[in-house]
């Protein structure tokens, strides 16, 4: 049998557009002789539709699209498509379903089984709209019995479909195996994070070999708000050997012949963590901007590494013609920062505009004086440092208004973790492009990018100079923070604590970083959505009280 894995980039809510994308992919698969086409989970409506599912006509629109696909593919191969359908278990709810479109009709084959409903933070969004599901379905086609499973990513820990069971002892996967299947069809929407692909392949290979079945796993691709889906759909034979792997971070129609092991069907994995992060952030930026209906972006260029990398990602994702770099020097900005920013923009072919902020700084100081005189000055006052950042934020958003563009935020995870940012200033933007990369990861990806391009697109001086916000004479980030090479390992340990560290006392640096981490939660709640590339991103993988006070006896 030939099974086609349709690695789709669906737009959430765009049922009409997704219908057309799926139809085009299915027709390509038909030309390749496919006996069955399979889409990822919720490919028809897009992943994480949230409140769209509450709209009275949304489910009706999905059913209309299923009828359209059935008619269009009347003479084509059968299609398994992920879509929301009315629940048969709970009145007024929907099922996250696998629907078979065949011979002009459609019918539900399988419904998603939520193993740990309301316990897994990653499931917490859409499960409120879907029923829990009872068991997976089986499809018989060309003499094959195919168990159809819609489930979480293969490495979701104890909540993973592949390794957990209900308290009653019911295990949906084992039920499929015991009912007798020749293959498992896994319709997934597994978000990217560094290491997930390799871990998922290991798990799926183990499942195929352990139960001696073929396993076909089709994954979504594309950016959806903060989440990025990397595709790389998979096929394994009953020994667990990898038969095929789809493209990374790109749409694909992967037609797998169960009678053939063709090395050309196995696309390569990314060659490094930096390549994977770069490709994920580029795809996430492109899809966020375009799916929001925009075409252009505005990036504040400071001459530092963060804004340099964001500008490179934006130029790659959207084309240099759609990126405007904005230089906003103050009296404290160094000449080399301006030179570095202009050199970067010239290397990328990005248009720039320079807007000096000193006149605005003076105007703010004069206007604020009567109010500030009401309050005594204190040591470490950062009022006018923050004013500079907020002036810049106003300029960027104003340009974006006129250009009908989005502002790309340039803050990194290290800064976001400890609150080293100014709300409504350098924290403005529609999207935090590198907000899930620590500062050390930013430098690593930047080094990879220059090597990848075979040129110093990001000027050497940007790598060599000490990081600085340049908000006062001689300022360095280390005036307020530990060196990033010390901060980042501590931060990563706090965000993903391991069992062996649980009982160990925290040293002074860890205590300081944890204190800043908890205190900065109110800022993170107001910052732009971040593209997620780590296992524990802020917002989804991490949540702390805003008005709490962490204090122990």
Report the b/e string of 271-290 with b at 16+ CB within 10 A: eeebbbbbbbbbbbbbbbbe
- Most confident segment among 371-380, 455-464, 471-480, 493-502: 455-464
Spell out the residues 6+ positions from residue 71 whose beta carbon is closer than 8 angstroms to its own: 104
Give the span between the Cα atoms of 335 and 342, in whole angstroms. 11
Distance of CA 553 to the CA centre of its chain: 39
User: Which CB contacts under 8 angstroms, 24+ apart, belong to 450-454?
Assistant: 452/275, 452/278
Contacts of 91 (CB under 8 A, 6+ apart): none
Residue boundaries of the structural domains of the chain: 2-262, 277-524
**pLDDT of 118 strictly over 50:** no
- What backbone torsions phi and psi does residue 408 show, to the nearest 5 degrees? -95, 125
285-334 residue pLDDT tens? 999 999 999 999 999 999 999 999 999 999 999 999 999 999 999 999 99
For residue 160, the model assigns a pLDDT of: 57
Residue 504: pLDDT band (50, 70, 90) is: confident
What DSSP string describes 430-447?
SEETTTTS-HHHHHHHHH
Listed range (4-18, 40-54, 150-164) with the worst mean pLDDT: 150-164
Asked whether the domain spanning 277-524 has the same topology as the one spanning 2-262, the reply is no
Which residues are known catalytic residues?
41, 112, 151
Average pLDDT over residues 487-501: 82
- CATH architecture of the domain 277-524 equals 3-Layer(aba) Sandwich (3.40)
Q: Kindly report the length of the chain.
A: 553
pLDDT digit string, tens, across residues 384-398: 999 999 999 999 999
Beta bridge partners of 148: 137, 185
| pTM for this prediction | 0.94
What would the CATH number be for the domain defined by 2-262? 3.60.110.10
What average pLDDT does the structure give for the chain? 92
pLDDT band at 377 (very low <50, low <70, confident <90, very high): confident
Residue 486 has pLDDT above 90, yes or no: yes
**Phi then psi dihedrals of residue 255, to 5 deg:** -100, 115
Q: In 10 A of CB 118, how many CB atoms?
A: 11
Tens of pLDDT, residue by residue over 55-111, are 989 999 999 999 999 999 999 899 999 999 999 888 888 999 999 999 999 999 999
- What's the helix, strand, coil split of the chain in %, to 5? 40, 20, 40
Residue pointed to by tokens 């829990």: 132
Least confident of 236-250, 351-365, 463-477, 494-508: 494-508
């Amino acid at each position: 049998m030939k099974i086609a894995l349709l690695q789709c980039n669906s737009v959430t809510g765009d049922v009409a557009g997704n219908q057309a994308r799926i139809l085009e992919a299915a027709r390509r698969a038909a030309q390749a002789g496919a006996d069955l086409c399979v889409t990822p989970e919720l490919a028809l409506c897009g992943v994480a539709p949230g409140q769209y599912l509450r709209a009275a006509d949304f489910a009706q629109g999905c059913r209309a699209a299923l009828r359209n696909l059935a008619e269009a593919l009347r003479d084509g191969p059968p299609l398994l498509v992920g879509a929301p359908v009315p629940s048969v278990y709970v009145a007024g709810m929907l099922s996250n379903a696998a629907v078979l479109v065949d011979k002009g009709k459609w019918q539900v084959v399988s419904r998603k089984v939520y193993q740990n409903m309301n316990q897994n933070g990653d499931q917490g969004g859409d499960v409120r709209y879907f029923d829990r599901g009872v068991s997976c379905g089986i499809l018989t086609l060309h003499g094959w019995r195919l168990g159809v499973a819609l489930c979480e990513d293969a490495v979701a820990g104890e909540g993973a479909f592949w390794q957990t069971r209900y308290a009653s002892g019911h295990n949906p996967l084992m039920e499929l195996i015991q009912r007798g299947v020749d293959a498992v069809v896994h319709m997934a929407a597994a978000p990217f994070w560094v290491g997930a692909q390799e871990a998922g392949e290991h798990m799926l290979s183990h499942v195929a070999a352990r139960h001696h079945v073929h396993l076909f796993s089709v994954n979504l691709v594309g950016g959806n708000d903060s989440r990025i889906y990397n595709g790389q759909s998979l096929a394994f034979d009953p020994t667990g050997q990898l038969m095929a792997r789809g493209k990374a971070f790109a749409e694909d129609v992967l037609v797998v012949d169960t009678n053939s092991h063709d090395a050309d069907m196995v696309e390569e994995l990314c060659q490094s963590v930096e390549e994977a992060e770069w490709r994920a952030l580029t795809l996430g930026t492109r899809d966020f901007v375009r799916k929001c209906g925009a075409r252009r972006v505005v990036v504040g260029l400071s001459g530092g590494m963060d804004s340099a990398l964001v500008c490179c990602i934006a130029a790659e994702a959207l084309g240099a013609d759609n990126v405007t770099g904005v230089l906003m020097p103050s009296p404290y900005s160094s000449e080399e920062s301006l030179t570095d920013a202009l050199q970067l923009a010239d290397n990328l072919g990005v248009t720039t505009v320079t807007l000096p902020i000193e006149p605005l700084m003076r105007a703010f100081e004069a206007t604020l004086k009567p109010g500030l005189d009401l309050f005594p000055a204190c040591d470490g006052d950062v009022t006018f440092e923050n004013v500079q950042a907020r002036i810049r934020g106003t300029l960027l958003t104003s340009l974006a208004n006129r250009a009908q563009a989005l502002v790309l935020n340039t803050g990194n995870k290290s800064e976001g973790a400890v609150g080293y940012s100014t709300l409504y200033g350098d924290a403005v933007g529609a999207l935090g492009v590198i907000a899930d990369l620590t500062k050390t990861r930013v430098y690593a990806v930047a080094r990879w990018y220059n090597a990848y391009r075979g040129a110093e697109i990001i000027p050497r001086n940007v790598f060599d100079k000490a990081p600085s916000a340049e908000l006062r004479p001689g300022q360095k980030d280390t005036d307020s923070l530990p060196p990033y090479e010390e901060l980042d390992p501590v931060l990563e340990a706090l965000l993903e604590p391991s069992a062996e560290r649980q009982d160990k006392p925290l040293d002074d640096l860890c205590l300081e970083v944890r204190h800043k981490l908890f205190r900065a939660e109110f800022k993170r709640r107001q910052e732009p959505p971040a593209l997620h590339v780590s296992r524990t991103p802020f917002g989804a993988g991490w949540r702390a009280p805003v008005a709490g006070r962490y204090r122990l006896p």
